[in-house]
Chain A
């Protein structure tokens, strides 16, 4: 069973429906014990980094999420969920993240329209089962104003160009995050969700 974590940061229904479409059972949960008993954990989310961390803390969800990852249960962060995996963010002040991956969340430099809204290419940096059957250079749907700057090159799974090259897929072992919305990225996105549900 896949647990989609609900912590008041955006609509999760589309993520659930996309998993169902590829034959995976996913439930929306908001209690620590539901994360502890889940086989796989998905952390979606849109909105502000600081609010997200504070909501996770209030709901007592930080420890169960970190535990799931350290126990090697498959984890997928989506959009803000990817950013939360990192150590800190400079979005509206300085905020601590879940600190699963070393690195920082930064705002796009001047000169680009922000938020980035639309379909952009992902150049695959290394092989992982998460991307089985997903062609290099596939387009995914992005909506974001901040990006992750990973400290370790080996954590960068996919790279996207929006004025600068940044990590659009990051992670290692069985914990991954994607900056785009796989649930709204047509076949390429659905394939990633299917791989996550079946292979990671």
Chain B
């Protein structure tokens, strides 16, 4: 049976690790390759590198990071953060990453999703959505979510569920749902958001934002119908190991991949 995935997210800037709460980068904790190796050894199913470099050299820095990762870590990985153009996607995929994750740029120019999917296949294009809960004027619906961009600073007026559908129609092979309300709180994922989107589209959903422990992952992978759970700080600061999370999930009947050691000499 297909295993549910546990995905640590590494925030990187200028080729180094950063840890952020509510998108404000604060603490340098070293080499992303070393951290990636640690997560791999603990049983991470995939890695996400979220690059917040904001300089003219961004593309070169990202390209170099991608190539280093693909030479040393043999599990799938995604690169996101400021992916705007066909050229950005190309550097990520040709460097050896499985997927490029596209967020704000898709809102500005949705054609980037279509173009990326046509050139590299839907499996290489992740539609990343930052969503925030909004009061609902329509009484027939109890809650709605609005798409925000630029790290949560700009409201787009778009309905997140409709946007999810459009991203998939345009060729996104997977969606990451990042709840801005839950991000950095450790109070748990937005279960309802994940469930609503998962029921609406056929592609796998990666839940993001709010992980405080294994019980949150269990909730979003069961009730929330997500295919994968992404987390950053609980792994980064060693609050929980990936192995602990997987044991917790396995005990509750969630299919997970056990980490095995095979002699490669």
A: residues with CB less than 8 A from B are 10-11, 13-14, 17-18, 20-22, 46-47, 113-121, 133-135, 138-139, 141-144, 161-162, 181, 183-191, 194
Give the residue of A113, A120, A181 whose beta carbon is less than 8 angstroms from that of B3.
A120
Q: Point out the residues of chain B lying under 8 angstroms from A190, CB to CB.
A: 74, 262, 264
B: residues with CB less than 8 A from A are 1-5, 40, 45, 67, 70-71, 74-76, 93-96, 98, 120-124, 173-174, 202-204, 227-228, 257-264
Distance of A126 from chain B, by nearest CB (Å): 20
Expressed in whole angstroms, the Cα–Cα distance for A116 and B70 within the complex equals 22
> Which residue of the partner chain B has the closest CB to A143?
B123
Distance of A26 from chain B, by nearest CB (Å): 13
Knowing that A13-B67, A117-B173, A143-B98 are A-B contacts, what are 20 other residue pairs whose CB atoms are under 8 Å apart, sorted by A's residue number? A10-B120, A11-B93, A113-B203, A117-B123, A118-B2, A118-B5, A119-B2, A119-B3, A119-B257, A133-B262, A133-B263, A139-B257, A139-B258, A181-B76, A183-B74, A185-B74, A186-B75, A190-B264, A191-B264, A194-B264
Q: A13-B95, A133-B262 are in contact. Are A184 and B74 (CB under 8 A)?
A: yes
Expressed in whole angstroms, the Cα–Cα distance for A189 and B260 within the complex equals 11
Q: How would you classify the secondary structure of chain A's contact residues: helix, strand, loop or mixed? A: mixed
Contact A138–B260 (Cβ < 8 Å) = yes
The 7 closest A-B pairs by CB, nearest first: A187-B262, A139-B257, A119-B257, A14-B96, A119-B3, A143-B123, A184-B76
Which of B202, B259, B261 gathers most chain A CB within 10 Å? B202
Distance of A1 from chain B, by nearest CB (Å): 20
Distance of B169 from chain A, by nearest CB (Å): 14
Q: Point out the residues of chain A lying under 8 angstroms from B228, CB to CB.
A: 118
Contact B264–A114 (Cβ < 8 Å) = no
Contact A189–B257 (Cβ < 8 Å) = no
Expressed in whole angstroms, the Cα–Cα distance for A14 and B70 within the complex equals 6
Q: A13-B70, A115-B173, A189-B74 are in contact. Are A121 and B262 (CB under 8 A)?
A: no
Distance of B71 from chain A, by nearest CB (Å): 5
Which of B40, B67, B122, B228 gathers most chain A CB within 10 Å? B122
Distance of A112 from chain B, by nearest CB (Å): 9
Q: A17-B70, A191-B264 are in contact. Are A115 and B123 (CB under 8 A)?
A: yes
Distance of A117 from chain B, by nearest CB (Å): 5
> Which residue of the partner chain B has the closest CB to A161?
B1
Distance of B226 from chain A, by nearest CB (Å): 11
> Which residue of the partner chain B has the closest CB to A22?
B264
